[in-house]
Chain A
Amino acid sequence: MATPRKRVWVMVFIVLFIVFETVAYVSTTPRPTEQFFQLYVLGANRLAADYYPNDDPNIGVGDAVPWYLGVSNFMGSVQLVALRVKLGNQTIQPPNDQNATSSQAPVVMELQRVLQDNETWEFPFVWRILNATSAGGVTRILGLMVNNQTYPLVGVEARDGYDFRFIIELWTWSVDSNAFQFGWYAGPEQRVAWLQVWFNATAVP
């Protein structure tokens, strides 16, 4: 039969065992973290400034506008992301954060990339208006050059060349639906990330 002192030491062992196993459980179980993406656009000097040449938002045909686009993945896993760059005007609907719908503006280009967890993908986005016309108070942009690639456009116009805007949307690959979805799911909640940068094209002949 165990003496009272032995019983005390057995109790001490049990308490220490529980404490040590709790520490082992905590150290081996990954902590739940907030799942999100970061999307940003920077100006010519990689700052949130100097978005237009000479700080003039009025962009002429052929003017090079250097930006930097970036996406950071904090989803805790490898993700396939797509950046859809759209060109719209003042009247076109931007993406809706509440019901997570994307903008109906025409897509200029799409860039895809697989990102590791905690990885940031930043790349230069140098664009210029290649071709535009102005008639009857309506300015139409007919072609853009982005990173030395030409993108023809149809149906992008603004009154007197005011208030064009780039809309940059973040889309992610959904394994469940086997398709790209606007934004991402953090648990049951759908979240979206998008940016817009306005400019004018009033100097179009």
Chain B
Amino acid sequence: MWRSGRRLDDCQLAPVPRPLILLPAVVLLLIAFRAATVSSQAQGQLPPGFGQALVAVRGAEAAGATPAEVAPLVSLLNNALQLNREAQAGNRTQLEVQVSNQLASVQSQAGQLEGVASQRTFMDDVISYLAGGVGALVATVACAYLFSFWRRYRVKRTFQMRIYRK
């Protein structure tokens, strides 16, 4: 009869050296790193804060800013993209500061533009609805005058009638 402990010792695997255990993990890490590097090279990263600047410009546009007012902000955003591309190619620190400043400027200008545009849109709406009311009043008065003139004309024509014997 054999002891269970002894049997287990027989089946035990030969000890594997520690560096060999780590090898597959290192290979996997290298593959993952390589894939990430290729991906980042191929697909340019946006500068931090670009998304917020874009949202701010969209906000100004939605508030009623005209295309002519939005155009300079869009131009600044495209300039920031260009600088970001150059920063990724080289001269990183200086260009990144420029991009950051430009995006901050876009956000600030877009905020101001949104305020102005929303106020203008509100006033335009108020004026339009007021004009509707005033227009309805003027049209009613005009109709009343026309009706009055038409009645007077009918009365005048009635009194101008002459009776002829046939």
On A, residues with C-beta under 8 Å from B are 9, 12-13, 16-17, 19-21, 23-25, 27-28, 77-78, 80, 82, 84, 106-110, 112-118, 154, 173, 175, 178, 180
Contacts and interface: CB of A to CB of B under 8 A. Distances in A.
Given A106-B42, A178-B51, A113 B136 contact: no
A9 B61 contact: no
Given A16-B136, A113-B78, A175-B54, 5 more contacts: A82-B43, A115-B74, A116-B70, A175-B51, A175-B58
Interface string B50-75: 11001101100110000100110010
A84 B51 contact: no
Nearest to A115: B74
Interface string B125-151: 100110111011101100110000000
A114 B131 contact: no
Which of A23, A28, A114 has the largest count of B CB atoms less than 10 A from its CB? A114
B87 interface: no
A9 B131 contact: no
Contacts of A178: 51
How would you classify the secondary structure of chain B's contact residues: helix, strand, loop or mixed? helix
B116 interface: no
Nearest to A111: B44
Contacts of B58: 77-78, 175
27 contacts: A9-B143, A13-B136, A16-B135, A17-B136, A20-B131, A20-B135, A21-B129, A21-B133, A24-B128, A24-B131, A28-B124, A77-B61, A78-B54, A78-B57, A78-B58, A78-B74, A80-B54, A80-B77, A84-B42, A106-B42, A108-B42, A110-B44, A112-B44, A116-B67, A173-B46, A173-B51, A180-B43
Interface in B71-104: 71, 74, 77-78, 81
Contacts of A115: 74
Interface residues of B, number: 34
A154 B81 CA distance: 27
A17 B132 contact: yes
A72 to B, nearest CB: 14
Contacts of A116: 67, 70-71, 74
Contact of A16 (B51, B61, B139): B139
Contacts of B74: 78, 114-116
B75 to A, nearest CB: 9
A114 B74 CA distance: 6
A12 B143 contact: yes
A178 to B, nearest CB: 5
A115 B57 CA distance: 12
Contact of B132 (A9, A24, A77, A107): A24
B139 A173 contact: no
Contacts of B43: 82, 84, 107, 110, 180
A38 B78 CA distance: 20
Contacts of A80: 50, 54, 77
A77 B70 CA distance: 10
